[in-house]
Structures are given as structure tokens and as C-alpha cells.
Amino acid sequence: MTRSVKHSDGLTRCPWPGEDPLYVAYHDTEWGVPEYDDRALFEKLILDGFQAGLSWVTILRKRDNFRKAFDNFEPETIARYDANKIHALMNDAGIVRNRAKIEGTINSAKSYLEIMEKGPGFSKLLWDFVDGKPLVNNFKSTASVPAATPLSTAMSKELLSRGFKFVGPTIVYAFMQATGMVNDHLVSCFCHERCGAMKRTAAKAMRK
């Protein structure tokens, strides 16, 4: 199924969350809503990296476990993780136990801190790729939605050059969609127009 679906509550949504209450709530309240907070963006990028090879709902179900295991994704703390902490994470059944991704998260946290200390700031670095405001697409079916774009490729190269791990163009595009840098809700989905309204508020707040 690639087109929007009308749910029992009368609202028409993108087809991908199905009827899963957790996934539907995520679709309605988070996905595509512009996020400008530095730490929150870091968390989402790391979780998208862990998602690679899995479905997002799998990560969503484990998100609270991830937050607990990774100290609420505070980069200052993660950057100091040692071999004992890595061992503990590899034995934590509540998360995705992938050593390369765990070690990559530590490297990414160090890169994040450098961007925050030396500039331009993590949120600004990322949002500058879309001139500080979401790109609004008008797709009618999920078959039209790309897996990656020239912009996500450019952002991926920038992040890789700064030491981030697991930030390929496809992962980065999923991240851009989730954090509202692009609005890829289908035009028939009730969230498409609503995310546009949220965009104006968020962008205004960023300019202050």
C-alpha cells in the first residue's frame, strides 16, 4: 500500500504506521515536526543509525531503553564512555547490541561536542542545508518518496567529514524526514498541512 489511509478516527494518514497505536502516535505528533534542539537532533540521528537494517518501529519500541542506556543521549557523557561501558551496553538486551554502532555513537558524540565548541552549532549546521526552514514536498504516494536526495548526500558527506558514523545518505534522509527538515507526509495526510503550520512557528522561534 502506497497511498494514504483513512483510519477509524476519521483521519487520513500516511500508510506506513498501519494501525499500531505507538507508530500512529509517532506519525501524528513527531514525524515531520521541525526539531531545532541540538541534543534532540543528536539523539534522533543516533537512533536512525541504529535503525539501519531494521524497521523504525523496532527502534521506537526500544527508545526508552536506549535513552536509559545512553544517559538520555547527552553527548558530553557519551563522549567519555570507556571499555567497561561498551561492555555493559553490549550486554543490555533492551537495545540493539551492535558494537560498531555503539562505538560509532561515542565517536559521533565527540564530533558533536567539537561542532558545539568551535561552531557553528549542531542545529545550525544541519538546518543551514535547508536554509533554516523545512522543504515541503507534495507527494501523493509513498512510491514517489525518495530514499535519498542530493541534499541528504551533501549532509551525509559533511557529517562524515566531521567524524560522525552511520550517517549515509539514506539514513540522513530518514533523519531529515523525521526531524521536519523535509515534510514528506503525503498531501492527503492530515499532518501535511499541520506540519507546514508548525514549520512557521518553529522557524520564527529559531530566528529570535
Query: What CATH number corresponds to the domain at position 16?
Result: 1.10.340.30
Is residue 206 scored above 90 in pLDDT?
A: no
Supply the pLDDT for residue 2.
Answer: 87
Cell numbers standing for residue 71: 544517559
> For all residues of the chain together, what is the average pLDDT?
94
Domain that holds residue 107: 5-207
Q: Is 14 annotated as a binding residue?
A: yes
Render pLDDT for 102-154 as a digit per residue (tens, 0 to 9): 999 999 999 999 999 999 999 999 999 999 999 999 999 999 999 999 999 99
Scanning 30-168, the segments in alpha helix (DSSP H) are 38-51, 56-69, 75-78, 83-90, 99-118, 122-127, 150-161
Label residue 199 by pLDDT band (50, 70, 90).
low
Total number of domains in the chain: 1
- DSSP 8-state symbol, 74: -
Render pLDDT for 36-62 as a digit per residue (tens, 0 to 9): 999 999 999 999 999 998 999 999 999
Supply the pLDDT for residue 173.
Answer: 98
Taking each helix axis from N to C end, the angle separating 99-118 and 38-51, rounded to the nearest 10 degrees, works out to 160
Q: Is 27 annotated as a binding residue?
A: yes
* Residues 180/206, Cβ–Cβ less than 8 Å: no
Label residue 197 by pLDDT band (50, 70, 90).
confident
pTM of the model: 0.93
How far apart CA 151 and CA 80 sit, in angstroms, is 32
Supply the pLDDT for residue 195.
Answer: 86
Q: Is 7 annotated as a binding residue?
A: no
Supply the pLDDT for residue 202.
Answer: 52
